[in-house]
Amino acid sequence: GQQLNQSPQSMFIQEGEDVSMNCTSSSIFNTWLWYKQDPGEGPVLLIALYKAGELTSNGRLTAQFGITRKDSFLNISASIPSDVGIYFCAGLAFGNEKLTFGTGTRLTIIP
């Protein structure tokens, strides 16, 4: 099955820093989703993107649907301790009932 390439795999940052991560695919998606997984929990949807070029914010989080429809980006500004967790991108192709998930980016905040 297809998987999305997500990078970086892990990030170690200091509180207050900005964070950027991205996902790329070899095929086109019609929908991009970004999830966050807290330790010991299931993933929770952060942002959904439905149009190429779309830029959507959710508080300090901003995500973009790449123009080529083969990539997406997530930025977190002014990180805080509760941002710690694993971030997953996911894509949905037209006519497909299955979400394809990225491999995840583990975010750690150094005190």
Between 48 and 77, how does the x/- string for binding to another protein read (CB under 8 A)? x-x---------------------------
> Are residues 93 and 28 in contact, defined by beta-carbon separation less than 8 angstroms?
yes
Q: If binding is defined by CB under 8 A, does position 88 make contact with another protein?
A: yes
User: And the tokens for 92?
Assistant: 């949905």
Q: How far apart are CA 104 and CA 109, in angstroms?
A: 16
- What residues numbered 1-40 form the site for another protein, per CB under 8 A? 1-4, 6, 9, 30-33, 40
User: And the tokens for 11?
Assistant: 């990030």
In the complex, what is the shortest distance from the CB of residue 71 to another protein, in angstroms, rounded to a whole number?
16
Query: Among candidates 91, 65, 87, which has minimal Cα distance to 76?
Result: 87
Report the interface residues with another protein, using CB under 8 A.
1-4, 6, 9, 30-33, 40-45, 48, 50, 88, 90, 92, 97-104
